[in-house]
């Protein structure tokens, strides 16, 4: 009697390939999360074969290595060379080599408020933003950060009510299932003493790197106009 043909598990195969790439370049799940614009929990669940993997996330992970998802998922695909990787991925590889193994920061860390304070200091009164905008800035400046929209939304409501308010304006550009995120509006600029205290906790580099991110965004916006 013939043996049944084993069922092909696409998720298992994708994870095997991802782990191979992570080992090759010395990356951890937090690094893959950073490069694919998601949070560490999602990638941890992925490598532990929990849940499912949507096509957009597969593509985002693949593009971190300058590939498309169908190329990345191909077991015969040669692993790209370091020099062919996107600049962001190269920098992340070098960062991990220099930084060493990732050490998780507690979700209730008091420094989250300081990080939000510095990011908000670059907005003007009546400016609008999404929690995703704050998360992106924090996770880019602090490369080992695990902040997500839930954490940031909670802190904005509890600790920054004098500076921001949630509006009724939804962000309709989001596609797919689930509720649409809402915009927040700046009620007043960050108090200079609060800003100084945040910089004192996090260091000048945090403010300077955040300033670079906002400057780059403005330059892109100006060039597009």
Give pLDDT tens digits for 148-185: 788 899 999 999 999 999 998 776 665 545 456 788 99
Residue partners of 225: CB distance under 8 A and separation at least 6: none
The answer to whether residue 181 is domain-embedded is yes
Give pLDDT tens digits for 80-103: 999 999 998 998 999 899 888 887
Residues 121 and 90 in one domain: no
- State the residue range of the domain holding 193: 111-224
User: How many angstroms separate the CA atoms of 225 and 220, rounded?
Assistant: 9
Name which of 135, 117, 129, 114 is nearest 190 in CA terms.
Answer: 117
Residue 205, domain CATH? 1.10.10
Give pLDDT tens digits for 13-24: 999 999 999 999
Tell me if 36 sits within 8 A of 14, measured CB to CB. Answer: no
User: How many angstroms separate the CA atoms of 194 and 202, rounded?
Assistant: 12
Of 99, 123, 152, which residue is a domain's last? 99
Residues 75 and 171 in one domain: no
Altogether, the residues listed in the chain come to a count of 225
């Amino acid at each position: 009697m013939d043996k049944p043909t084993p069922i092909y598990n696409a998720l298992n195969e994708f994870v095997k390939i991802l782990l191979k790439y992570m080992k090759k370049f010395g990356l951890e799940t937090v690094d893959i999360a950073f490069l694919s614009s998601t949070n560490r929990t999602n990638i941890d669940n992925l490598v532990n074969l929990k849940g499912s993997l949507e096509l957009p996330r597969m593509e985002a992970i693949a593009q971190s290595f300058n590939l498309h998802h169908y190329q990345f998922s191909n077991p015969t695909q040669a692993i790209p060379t370091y020099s062919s990787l996107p600049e962001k991925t190269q920098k992340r590889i070098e960062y991990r080599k220099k930084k060493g193994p990732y050490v998780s920061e507690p979700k209730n860390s008091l420094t989250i408020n300081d990080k939000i304070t510095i990011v908000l200091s670059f907005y003007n009164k009546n400016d609008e933003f999404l929690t995703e905008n704050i998360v992106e800035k924090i996770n880019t400046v602090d490369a080992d950060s695990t902040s997500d929209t839930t954490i940031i939304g909670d802190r904005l409501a509890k600790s920054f009510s004098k500076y921001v308010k949630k509006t009724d304006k939804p962000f309709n550009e989001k596609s797919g299932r689930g509720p649409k995120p809402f915009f927040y509006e700046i009620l007043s600029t960050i108090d200079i003493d609060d800003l100084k205290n945040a910089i004192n906790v996090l260091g000048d580099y945090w403010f300077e790197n955040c300033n670079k991110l906002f400057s780059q965004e403005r330059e892109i916006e100006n060039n597009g106009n």
